[in-house]
Amino acid sequence: MTGNIRTFILMAAMTALVMGMGYLIGGQGGAVIALVLAGAGNIWAWWNSDKAVLNQQGAMPVTRQQAPELVDMVAALAERAGLPMPAVYVLASEQPNAFATGRNPENSAVAVTQGILQALSREELAGVIAHELAHIRNRDTLTMTVTATMAGAIAMLGNMLMFSSMFGGRDDNRGGGLATLLAMIFAPIAAGMVQMAISRTREYEADRLGAEISGQPLALASALAKIARMAGRVVNIPAERNPASASMFIINPLHALRMDRLFATHPPTEERIARLQAMAAGPWGSQ
């Protein structure tokens, strides 16, 4: 099963969760209203998510005059990837990390931390930027924005269902008390798990395509190892304040001691590195 098909199935599951929660609250009408509200939230996020995430992370735009090597690297890799030049941002965090955002390739941005600029070699940094450009080319930034919005909608509907049942507004014919209780408890958890599954699927594909764009899968593998090793030692305060954005980073930015690591938004770094090493050792790597 390809990554795109798997993502489509998982997003369909997320949509079904939204409609199911709406149905428990208000029957067929509630299911339709829930779907409409989730759609409206996605439209808002589609237009504003890039600005919101960049502001949350304290990202500052940089020009070629301010960071010529970085901007020239992004420009060269974007041209190789067949993409328009994205905006380039730098985050003040000392934690090595990076992310991409934007509703489409024409309105996209690549953001890197001060920490990653200091920690990685030129080849490793190119691999990371290529990975983020792969997310832009695959429109993963939009996919993750939609799933995050729908996950939030499911959590909100769970709260509404709880208050509805507390004040006698629930119709027992729509599933009974046990079904309502299970929905309140497990639907938000299931939504989070679907969101994580989509994120993990997209990370593997971005690693593969990013390695092709940069032409150096081993450099990206080395970068992932360094970032994973160092990220847990440095607290990324903006990311800690906005944990919903964790899935956007190349490596989970949340601190190693946080319970969030039990629900990791990224696949195991060791597996990602192994896939890149196999890619380098295979027919592609000998080209």
| Residues that constitute the known binding site for Zn(2+) | 131, 135, 203
Query: Which residues are documented as binding site?
Result: 131, 135, 203
Backbone angles phi, psi at 104, to 5 degrees: -160, 170
Q: Specify the amino acid at residue 101.
A: T
List, edge to edge, every strand of the sheet that includes 98-104. 60-61, 87-91, 107-113, 98-104
Dihedral sign for Cα 162, 166, 169, 171, please. positive
Residues 6+ away with beta carbon under 8 Å from 121: 219, 222
3-state helix/strand/coil string of 37-72: HHHHHHHHHHHHHHHHHHHHCCCEECCCCCCHHHHH
Cα angle 195, 196, 200 (rounded to 5 degrees) comes to 120
Catalytic (active site) residue 132: yes
Beta bridge partners, 100, equal 110
Q: How far, in Å, CA of 73 to CA of 207, rounded?
A: 18
- Strand 107-113 to strand 87-91: parallel, antiparallel, or no bridges (unpaired)? parallel
Q: Which of 69, 123, 124, 132 is catalytic?
A: 132
Classify residue 254 by its DSSP letter. Answer: S
Q: Which residues are catalytic?
A: 132
